[in-house]
């Protein structure tokens, strides 16, 4: 996952500028049908029972240090088409708020091969524990 411009600014200000940044108490994962970037979220899904889901992370390792989701992240059953989910983002609020990090969905066997997912009525999207990762090296 890549940091958004918002989080990059907060981290640099916190470490080098002396402006304290208070981490959010809860993190939320959102899903997109188009690519996000450092400066903007992608097209987030809306309607058909979609809602961002809370997520907890465990930070471990050195060179690289990785924050990985510590539990399954399960979205509610779609009551209509969500379209083709291509990206995910981590936010500091259940709705609105600031995007902190984002990434394209990838195959968990290698974390590099793009793996979009069509979500139709009745589908449930799950991200297994450890499969949502933020790495800095």
For residue range 29-75, list pLDDT tens digits in order.
Answer: 999 999 998 998 899 999 999 999 999 999 999 888 999 999 999 99
**Residue among 25, 32, 126 at smallest CA distance from 4:** 32
Contact indicator for 1, 103 with CB cutoff of 8 Å: yes
For residue 62, give every residue at least 6 positions away whose Cβ sits within 8 Å of its Cβ, in sequence order, or none.
none
**Residue among 136, 131, 27, 24 at smallest CA distance from 71:** 131
pLDDT by residue (tens digit) across 63-97? Answer: 889 999 999 999 999 999 999 999 999 999 999 99
Q: Determine if the pTM surpasses 0.85.
A: yes
């Amino acid at each position: 996952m890549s940091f958004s411009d918002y989080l990059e600014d907060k981290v640099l200000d916190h470490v080098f500028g002396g402006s304290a940044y208070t981490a959010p108490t809860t993190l939320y994962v959102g899903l997109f049908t188009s690519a996000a970037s450092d400066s903007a979220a992608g097209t987030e899904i809306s309607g058909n029972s979609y809602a961002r889901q809370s997520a907890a992370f465990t930070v471990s390792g050195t060179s690289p240090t990785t924050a990985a989701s510590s539990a399954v992240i399960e979205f509610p059953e779609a009551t209509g088409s969500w379209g083709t989910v291509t990206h995910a983002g981590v936010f500091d609020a259940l709705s609105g708020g600031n995007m902190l990090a984002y990434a394209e969905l990838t195959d968990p066997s290698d974390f590099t091969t793009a793996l979009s997912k069509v979500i139709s009525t009745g589908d449930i999207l799950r991200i297994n524990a450890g499969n949502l990762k933020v790495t800095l090296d």
